[in-house]
Structure 1
């Protein structure tokens, strides 16, 4: 291997690594606020990528049916909770989010596709189709179990993951999809390498998303509420912060990050209904490097994962997954020695 090949491998690793970095930051966010290891984060990537690919082919994705069904289930659950004593005023918000929004999106998708929209409009449609599934998932699967142990929440995540994989096969089929049409066409010579505008767009979008999250957590009331919940869940309740609201908002942010990641990555690799699991696991490796606590370290660790994966593909492609996931072993050993926790924690 010479330096020119090494630079190309680093370039490829950087482009995929920034996607892993987004997922790692999202996983750390969800775990810090809700104590949930969100295995299904990879499925948000898959659903976002495949929904966008179906729309790019001017077809109607099956996820518009999933959105309506999920919204109806959540609203029925809210009716039951109101019957059990929850304030009825919450039904108005639930009706808007769970019934009006899904039905509006369901009707709007074929109408908008009939106007031959641009790729940007199709990406926006993908966000409206898939992102609401995140908060709905929290309402259906996690909210009533929010105070359970980390192990119980982990078991729920495994069950949800298998459910989403099965639904992905039903809605999208077994064949992989790739969006050949990029958002930006062309290329640029930079640092002795040829960069496509699409790859630079992915890197820039990642930087924008991370910066937006930093501004949200540092300068908004809701962001500070999530930080407070992450620091002390019981203390947040005592000062009037709703942990249910925190979980809802966290899953909303996580689904946005996952769907955007899927929209960006489907331009580089073919995505099938089960690809998101491996992508999510590599983001999880980055999150583990950050100890499921540090956003910057998790992002940097995910970038390292992408670069190591790229070099592993060149040197020993059949062992690339083994090499990537083996990174967890020394990290866990270091964390087990350096971390401090009491028996109650």
Structure 2
């Protein structure tokens, strides 16, 4: 291998690594706020990528039915709570969020797609269709067991993962999808390498998303509320910060990041209904490097995973997954030696 090949491999690794970095940051966000190891994070990448790819190919995605399905379940749940004595005023809000909004999208998306809109409009429609599934999923699967142990939440995450993979197979089929039409055409030479505008767009979007999250957590009231919940859940409740609200907002953010990642990466690799799981696992390796608490370490660790994966694909493609996931072992051993253990707060 010479330096020119090494630079190309580093370029490829950087493009995929920034996607892994978004996964790692999302996993750390969910864990520190809700104590959930969110295995199903990759499914938001899959749902976002395939929904966008089908619309880019001129089709109508099956995910237009997912929001009405989830919404109907949640509205029935809300009706049951009202029957049990909950304030009826919440029913009107639930009707709008869980019934009217999904049905409106069910009608509007085919109408908009019939006009053959641009890729940007299709990407926006993808966000409208898939991102709301995040807080809905939290409300259905996690909120009832939010105060249980981390092990219980992990078991629920495994069940959610398998359920979403099954739904992905039902709505998208086993066929892989790739968007051949990029958001930006052309390329530019930087550091003796030819960079496509699409690659620079992905890297720039990743930096923008991480920067936006930094501003959100540092400068907004809701962001500070999430930080307070991450530091001390009991203390956050005592000062009036609802852990339920924190969970809904966290899952909204992680779904948003996952869907955006899927929209960006489907222009580079073919995505199937189960591809997101491997992407999420590699983001999880980055999150482990950050100890599931440090956003910068998780992001840099995930980028390093992307670069290592690119080089191992060149040298030993049959063992690339073994090498990538094997990195977890020395990291965990090192953390076990160097990091002082503290009991989890109840």
TM-score under structure 2 length normalisation: 0.98
2:283 alignment counterpart: 283
CA distance in 2, matches of 1:92, 1:28: 34
CA distance in 2, matches of 1:328, 1:87: 48
Structure 2 residue matching 1:299: 3-state secondary structure? helix
CA distance in 2, matches of 1:218, 1:85: 39
Shift of 1:344: 5.6
CA distance in 2, matches of 1:187, 1:309: 24
Q: Which runs of no fewer than 5 residues in structure 1 stay unpaired?
A: none
Structure 1 residue matching 2:189: 3-state secondary structure? strand
Shift of 1:225: 0.4
1:43 alignment counterpart: 43
CA distance in 1, matches of 2:237, 2:264: 37
Q: Which runs of no fewer than 5 residues in structure 2 stay unpaired?
A: none
1:273 alignment counterpart: 273
Task: Decide which moves more: 194-203 or 333-342.
Answer: 333-342
Structure 2 residue matching 1:86: 3-state secondary structure? coil
Shift of 1:340: 2.0
Shift of 1:19: 0.2
Shift of 1:84: 2.3
Structure 1 pair 343–21 and aligned structure 2 pair: CA distance change class (3 A) = closer
Structure 1 pair 344–276 and aligned structure 2 pair: CA distance change class (3 A) = closer
Structure 2 residue matching 1:269: 3-state secondary structure? coil
Q: How many residues align?
A: 345
Structure 1 pair 86–341 and aligned structure 2 pair: CA distance change class (3 A) = farther
Structure 2 residue matching 1:188: 3-state secondary structure? strand
The alignment yields a C-alpha RMSD, in angstroms, of 0.9
Task: Decide which moves more: 174-183 or 78-87.
Answer: 78-87
2:234 alignment counterpart: 234
Structure 2 residue matching 1:63: 3-state secondary structure? helix
Structure 1 pair 342–193 and aligned structure 2 pair: CA distance change class (3 A) = closer
2:84 alignment counterpart: 84
* Residues 165-218 of structure 1: CA deviation (Å, up to 9, x unaligned): 111011001010000000000000001100000000000000000000000000
- Aligned residue runs from structure 1 range 62-211, under 5 A: 62-211=62-211
Shift of 1:27: 0.3
CA distance in 2, matches of 1:343, 1:142: 22
Structure 1 pair 259–152 and aligned structure 2 pair: CA distance change class (3 A) = same
CA distance in 1, matches of 2:157, 2:87: 29
CA distance in 1, matches of 2:160, 2:268: 27
1:311 alignment counterpart: 311
CA distance in 2, matches of 1:253, 1:47: 15
Structure 1 pair 323–100 and aligned structure 2 pair: CA distance change class (3 A) = same
* Residues 242-301 of structure 1: CA deviation (Å, up to 9, x unaligned): 100000000000000000000000000000000000000000000000000000000000
CA distance in 2, matches of 1:72, 1:275: 28
CA distance in 1, matches of 2:211, 2:344: 35
Structure 1 residue matching 2:207: 3-state secondary structure? helix
CA distance in 2, matches of 1:82, 1:144: 16
Structure 1 pair 342–116 and aligned structure 2 pair: CA distance change class (3 A) = closer
Shift of 1:66: 1.0
CA distance in 1, matches of 2:38, 2:323: 23
CA distance in 2, matches of 1:211, 1:328: 27
